[in-house]
Structure 1
Amino acid sequence: MSAPSTSPRLGLLLLGGIGLCSLAFVAVVRLSMAYEKVLFVNGLDSEVTVSAGGKRFTLDANGHRLRRLPVGPLEVDVRNATGPLAHETVFVTDEGGLFIYNLLGAAPLYSTTVRYSRTQDSNGAPDSQPLSLGGKVFQRVGQFDYVLTDPPERMSVRSESGRSITRTHLGRFPGGWTTTFGMLMDSRQTAEANQLAEALWRALPETRSAEEAAFVSRLSLARKEGLLASVAVSRAWRDAHRDDLTAHRLWASEMRRAERNDEVRAYYVAELEREPGAVVMAIMLSRYEPAGEGTKRLEALMRDHPGEPLPRKALALRYVRQQRWADALPLLEAMEQQDSDYALVLDMHAETLVALGRREEAARKVSERLLKAGAKDDTVNPDDVLLYAKLVGGSSQKGKKNAVMRQLITWASKKPADAVVSEWVAASLGEPVVSPESSNAPSDNVLAAATRVLMALAEEPKVAARDCADIEFSVFRRMGTDATLLLAAESERLGDSALAARILDVSAVEMGFGELQDVVHGKLPLESLPTLDWGERAALSLVVARRLDAEGVDSKAAYARVKREALLPGPVTAALEHWARPKPSSAVAGDTEP
């Protein structure tokens, strides 16, 4: 038998073969690593077609698909049945994890961590507040154990894993782009919200809600620039929607803040002369006429247009603001049966029932509507929860009798920005908030910021004034117009006109600074401002009563008026209970209040 060959040439060939195999293996590995997972998500209510990385596929309405696509520049083209929606180039890096392409940034995505413990009571409990991922078109988000599927409620934990384990979850809040838009606005990301809304409106020009969202966010940005900018934006919206009452009211509100009421009245007088039968113009003019004349105009308008919702709603609102509760009630009941936007006047209907001594009926009506809506959508508006809390007289969730409140708070707390909704409701009612989580909430959490100011306002106005020195429109919106007007008016009474002017300038209160000054200092009667609701009237009446206290004038009648106007618990009733009444400048320290 011959000995094995030890030829150097053969050895080199063997080494070369091994090297080639190694290179081929590395190439295969690198080729497999040159692709990353990209999750495409559609947050719209219509089907779209996506072309990306040489692949073409369909995304169902509010659907999603996972694709492996090559690392590097990625051209994405999205179309619906009517034409192109988006075309952009994004870059997929080789960092691993999951990349998300969220069409127009519309889908309300979030990430969170779920903790599974060996203790049964805490098994499957969220380990952190959800982090919103909506509003961004393309982003890398890392690894997830559960992607757009609910994690299990329970999971066994082995002893070698320690006392607990965690799993990551990519989820999606209920609702579509409107949820994303609302969350961006509530977290004070107004520019990002506007970018989303404008993109949606360009892509879906026939979608009125997208157009409205674009305007709302545009107006919020304009308010930061000053009155000239906000008046210009609102005027453009009015001109584009001449038959829309809300568009006219927004423009008129901005003009009122600019102390230009005479121009508004002249505009609607001229419009009615040009088109005598214009319902919207007549309703708007009635808001700038003396109370009696305006009411007669609305009553005539309703006779001329029986069954039309706009005149009926305007007249019901006028009757409520004149405390003509019995006249308002049948109009509100008709709206409940016939008008699709009845939800917008639910609070007015409830207030009317309370004024007529039917508070329990009002609470029952509101709870039934909210429970029905919550069971359908698994969420409710925090403002509606606050209305219910006012009607039942508190925010307690304890015990069987407060089961409705407990359920409503749960539904209203679904979004991360609404995690402190229970504290916000309590603070809005002037109730003490024990160990508030709002103090630890992110600085951009609007509800938490409003809660902090409301808590301070219930104690003493000067403390609240410090807290609201630099807050924005979205926070004042969550505080409510009664609290906002109370703080502005009391600041003016105390001599801080700059703060009072800023509050009116930033907030949504329909009142000019000159009007506020005249009311606070007794130069203008409240009756001359028919557009104020009863919460706003009560706030101004309280500050007027406090001015009388400071002047040493009998204020009993003024305080009695406040109590009549404050139909439901809130910032005004809290101030009545907790604020120390001013003493006249000639009072001696230690004197008791009259």
Structure 2
Amino acid sequence: MSAPSTSPRHGRLLLGGIGICALAVVGVTWTGRAQEKVLFVNALDTPVTVTAGSERFSLGANDHLVRPMPIGPMDVDVRGGEATLAHETVFVTDEGGLFVYNLLGAAPLFITTVRYERNDAPASESEPSSLVVAGTSFLRAGHIDYVLTDPPRSIQMRKEDGRYTTRFHLGQAPGGWAASYGWLMSNHQTAKAARFTEELARVLPETPGARNAALISRMVLSREEGLLASLAATRARRDAQPDDADAQRAWMYDMRRAGRNDEVRAYYQAEVERHPGSLVMAVMLARVEPEPAGTARLEALVRAHPGELLPRRALAVRYARQQRWADALPLLDAMEQGDPDYARYQDTHAEVLVALGRRAEAARRLSERLLQASPETEPPDLDDVQLYAKLVGHASLEGKENAAMRQLVASAQNDRPEGMVVRWLSASLGLPPEVDSPLGTKDDPLETAVRLMLALAEEPGFAARASTQLDFFGFHRLGPEAGLLLAAEFERLGDAALAARTLDLSGVELGYGELQDVLRGTLPVESLTTTLDWGERAALHLVLARQLDAQGRDSKAAYARVKKEILLPGAVSIALQKWDRPKPSNAVAGDSVP
């Protein structure tokens, strides 16, 4: 019997053989996994054509498809008609499992761990764990047992599974991109929400609500990251998208918050001189020019470019803010017939009709327009329903004459507690809520707005206590008129910190320094017609009237002016009716704190 060889040559041959075998095994494994499954999901309401690597295929609206794709970098180009919706390079790794390409991150996708138990297993109270993956365009989901299909309620378990086993489910919630946006915002993933909604609004500007969602998420993000970070982001967007009016306005808004209005005016003056043919730059300059130069510029632009929408929109709003109702109406009527962005201006249109004594017509036209939209695809926005309630002056659902209100409320109700929308509408109008109307959850934006409006109807001190813990979403459902009214009143009472915070959350185009100047009497409210509408100016005039009361001066004319400015019920009309007028004292403004 021979002993094992220990010669170096034999060892090298043995190691070489092992290495060759190993390479062969690896080669077989690599060849077998040269492709991985990629799920392509389109949650948009438009069909698209996808080019992924060398593959080209179509995806219908709200459709999905699984394709095997080569491991390695993958160029993805997505087009909707002639428009490019996405173009990026992602990397399919050799880790195995399922990869997901979620167009624009719009699909509300989630991964759930489903737990199955044998009949003889002790009962478990644990809930399935879920991971929201919305807002991300490409990710490795890993091993998934059920792809966009409901997992079965029970399965056949093998003995080796033990008493418990788990499966993984990739699901998609209803609601499309709006559900993804809601998830991200409620989970404080504001940067991701801002990024994907801004991209959605850029590539599909006709998507209902996308532009507003992008604006809100960007405003919330700016408050989370601070003004300097927000300025840097909006300036970069301004430079990257010079022809996007919303990008320009976002930067202007941040600059106004920073008290740098003169720099804005100088910038757009230089841009108009550098690009005399740019309508966007000319309209932006008109927004910050002193009057009457700004209005004259807009009128000249409309005459020179009668078919362009941007100057027409700007001039219609300018006329309305100047209370030139008869001049504003023809422009708004034309916008109603052919402007795809008319929904953003229908509140101005309604207010102009009210000012001209045509309130019933305004209510009828608004309800007809809202009810013509399909509730499944374009449900009325809450702000639209609130506008209708203000036009008719109530939130009642009873009687044949309130059929339109019932339909609008039902369309806007969604998954909210029954009666929550009516409760919010009633509070917005200063009406007492129904005794048996349900309360929403404490952190629900509608319920938060209801609580603050009810507090506002009591007195400023109640509103101050109710608003200290409010965030942007609560103020968003209050509206800028209420936010500016409270900010100005808090400033009058001397709580500068609460005033500045409230003003910032309100989203009103007014810097805190400007608010201080208004109350000091060094900045006339009339000089703010380019940025504040009638309700916001009425809020400032009401606080100025209250300041006269506190100083023991004659305020009769000031209150008469406020009453004349009020077109529709809201925060100012509630405060005018409910708040006790300040009594004169020897104290100066700022002595008391709400």
Regarding TM over 0.5, the answer is yes
Q: For the structure 1 residues 544 and 438, does the alpha-carbon distance in structure 2 shift closer, same or farther, using more than 3 Å as the test? A: farther
- Aligned partners of 1:317 and 1:328 also within 8 Å: yes
Shift of the alpha carbon at 1:132? Answer: 9.7
Partner of 1:326: 326
Partner of 1:482: 481
- Aligned partners of 1:109 and 1:173 also within 8 Å: no
Q: For the structure 1 residues 487 and 208, does the alpha-carbon distance in structure 2 shift closer, same or farther, using more than 3 Å as the test? A: same
Instruction: Specify the code of the residue in structure 2 equivalent to 1:367.
Output: S
What CA distance in whole angstroms lies between the structure 1 residues aligned with 2:504 and 2:419? Answer: 29
Partner of 1:509: 508
Partner of 1:460: 459
Q: For the structure 1 residues 394 and 189, does the alpha-carbon distance in structure 2 shift closer, same or farther, using more than 3 Å as the test? A: farther
Deviation string, structure 1 residues 274-299 (Cα, Å, up to 9, x no partner): 23343222222222233322222222
Q: For the structure 1 residues 147 and 90, does the alpha-carbon distance in structure 2 shift closer, same or farther, using more than 3 Å as the test? A: farther
Q: For the structure 1 residues 529 and 305, does the alpha-carbon distance in structure 2 shift closer, same or farther, using more than 3 Å as the test? A: same
Shift of the alpha carbon at 1:542? Answer: 0.8
- Aligned partners of 2:417 and 2:440 also within 8 Å: no
- Aligned partners of 1:417 and 1:446 also within 8 Å: no
Instruction: Specify the code of the residue in structure 1 equivalent to 2:526.
Output: E
Partner of 1:592: none
Partner of 1:296: 296
What CA distance in whole angstroms lies between the structure 2 residues aligned with 1:138 and 1:439? Answer: 41
Query: 1:387-536 counterparts in 2 under 5 A?
Result: 387-416=387-416, 420-434=420-434, 439-441=439-441, 443=443, 445-530=444-529, 531-536=531-536
What CA distance in whole angstroms lies between the structure 1 residues aligned with 2:296 and 2:431? Answer: 42
Deviation string, structure 1 residues 340-398 (Cα, Å, up to 9, x no partner): 21221111111000000000000000000000014562621111101111110111112
Q: For the structure 1 residues 208 and 320, does the alpha-carbon distance in structure 2 shift closer, same or farther, using more than 3 Å as the test? A: closer
Shift of the alpha carbon at 1:476? Answer: 2.0
Q: For the structure 1 residues 473 and 139, does the alpha-carbon distance in structure 2 shift closer, same or farther, using more than 3 Å as the test? A: farther
What CA distance in whole angstroms lies between the structure 2 residues aligned with 1:205 and 1:387? Answer: 28
| Secondary structure of 2:297 counterpart | helix
Q: For the structure 1 residues 328 and 218, does the alpha-carbon distance in structure 2 shift closer, same or farther, using more than 3 Å as the test? A: closer
Q: What is the identity percentage for the equivalent residue pairs of Structure 1 and Structure 2?
A: 54
Shift of the alpha carbon at 1:522? Answer: 2.4
What CA distance in whole angstroms lies between the structure 1 residues aligned with 2:195 and 2:328? Answer: 41
What CA distance in whole angstroms lies between the structure 2 residues aligned with 1:419 and 1:79? Answer: 46
| Secondary structure of 2:575 counterpart | helix
Partner of 1:361: 361
Q: For the structure 1 residues 205 and 497, does the alpha-carbon distance in structure 2 shift closer, same or farther, using more than 3 Å as the test? A: closer
Partner of 1:371: 371
- Aligned partners of 2:206 and 2:340 also within 8 Å: no
- Aligned partners of 1:541 and 1:558 also within 8 Å: yes
What CA distance in whole angstroms lies between the structure 2 residues aligned with 1:241 and 1:469? Answer: 37
Query: 1:140-159 counterparts in 2 under 5 A?
Result: none
Shift of the alpha carbon at 1:220? Answer: 2.7
What CA distance in whole angstroms lies between the structure 1 residues aligned with 2:433 and 2:309? Answer: 41
What CA distance in whole angstroms lies between the structure 1 residues aligned with 2:369 and 2:110? Answer: 29
Partner of 2:276: 276
| Secondary structure of 1:479 counterpart | coil
| Secondary structure of 1:557 counterpart | helix
- Aligned partners of 1:374 and 1:408 also within 8 Å: no
- Aligned partners of 2:445 and 2:473 also within 8 Å: yes
Shift of the alpha carbon at 1:507? Answer: 3.2
- Aligned partners of 2:75 and 2:88 also within 8 Å: yes
Query: 1:6-155 counterparts in 2 under 5 A?
Result: 42-44=42-44, 45-46=46-47, 60-63=60-63, 103=102, 106-108=106-108
Shift of the alpha carbon at 1:181? Answer: 1.5
Q: For the structure 1 residues 415 and 109, does the alpha-carbon distance in structure 2 shift closer, same or farther, using more than 3 Å as the test? A: farther
- Aligned partners of 1:370 and 1:380 also within 8 Å: yes
- Aligned partners of 2:483 and 2:505 also within 8 Å: no
- Aligned partners of 1:438 and 1:451 also within 8 Å: no
Partner of 2:552: 552
What CA distance in whole angstroms lies between the structure 1 residues aligned with 2:578 and 2:261? Answer: 36
Shift of the alpha carbon at 1:107? Answer: 3.0
- Aligned partners of 1:521 and 1:544 also within 8 Å: no
What CA distance in whole angstroms lies between the structure 1 residues aligned with 2:401 and 2:422? Answer: 17
- Aligned partners of 2:222 and 2:230 also within 8 Å: yes
Deviation string, structure 1 residues 11-48 (Cα, Å, up to 9, x no partner): xxxxxxxxxxxxxxxxxxxxxxxxxxx99964244468
Deviation string, structure 1 residues 34-87 (Cα, Å, up to 9, x no partner): xxxx99964244468899xxxxx99753136899xxxxxx99999676777866
> What do you get for the CA RMSD once the two structures are aligned?
4.3
Q: Which moved more, 1:243-252 or 1:350-359?
A: 243-252
What CA distance in whole angstroms lies between the structure 1 residues aligned with 2:94 and 2:344? Answer: 42
What CA distance in whole angstroms lies between the structure 1 residues aligned with 2:556 and 2:202? Answer: 57
What CA distance in whole angstroms lies between the structure 2 residues aligned with 1:85 and 1:448? Answer: 44
What CA distance in whole angstroms lies between the structure 2 residues aligned with 1:49 and 1:271? Answer: 38
What CA distance in whole angstroms lies between the structure 2 residues aligned with 1:133 and 1:389? Answer: 38
Instruction: Specify the code of the residue in structure 2 equivalent to 1:481.
Output: P
What CA distance in whole angstroms lies between the structure 1 residues aligned with 2:395 and 2:326? Answer: 29
Partner of 1:152: none
- Aligned partners of 2:362 and 2:391 also within 8 Å: yes
For structure 2, which runs of at least 5 residues remain unmatched after alignment?
Answer: 1-37, 80-86, 112-130, 152-170, 588-594
What CA distance in whole angstroms lies between the structure 1 residues aligned with 2:452 and 2:283? Answer: 35
What CA distance in whole angstroms lies between the structure 1 residues aligned with 2:110 and 2:399? Answer: 33
What CA distance in whole angstroms lies between the structure 1 residues aligned with 2:89 and 2:64? Answer: 16
| Secondary structure of 1:454 counterpart | helix
What CA distance in whole angstroms lies between the structure 1 residues aligned with 2:500 and 2:180? Answer: 32
Q: Which moved more, 1:535-544 or 1:57-66?
A: 57-66
Q: For the structure 1 residues 84 and 302, does the alpha-carbon distance in structure 2 shift closer, same or farther, using more than 3 Å as the test? A: closer
What CA distance in whole angstroms lies between the structure 2 residues aligned with 1:454 and 1:382? Answer: 16
What CA distance in whole angstroms lies between the structure 2 residues aligned with 1:219 and 1:378? Answer: 24
Instruction: Specify the code of the residue in structure 2 equivalent to 1:405.
Output: M
Deviation string, structure 1 residues 217-249 (Cα, Å, up to 9, x no partner): 345323222221122111111111212222222
Partner of 1:246: 246
Instruction: Specify the code of the residue in structure 2 equivalent to 1:409.
Output: V
Partner of 2:580: 580
Shift of the alpha carbon at 1:520? Answer: 2.0
Shift of the alpha carbon at 1:328? Answer: 1.0
Q: For the structure 1 residues 84 and 306, does the alpha-carbon distance in structure 2 shift closer, same or farther, using more than 3 Å as the test? A: closer
Q: For the structure 1 residues 100 and 208, does the alpha-carbon distance in structure 2 shift closer, same or farther, using more than 3 Å as the test? A: same
Instruction: Specify the code of the residue in structure 1 equivalent to 2:61.
Output: A
Shift of the alpha carbon at 1:506? Answer: 3.2
TM-score, structure 1 length as denominator?
0.72
- Aligned partners of 1:298 and 1:315 also within 8 Å: yes
Q: For the structure 1 residues 529 and 63, does the alpha-carbon distance in structure 2 shift closer, same or farther, using more than 3 Å as the test? A: same
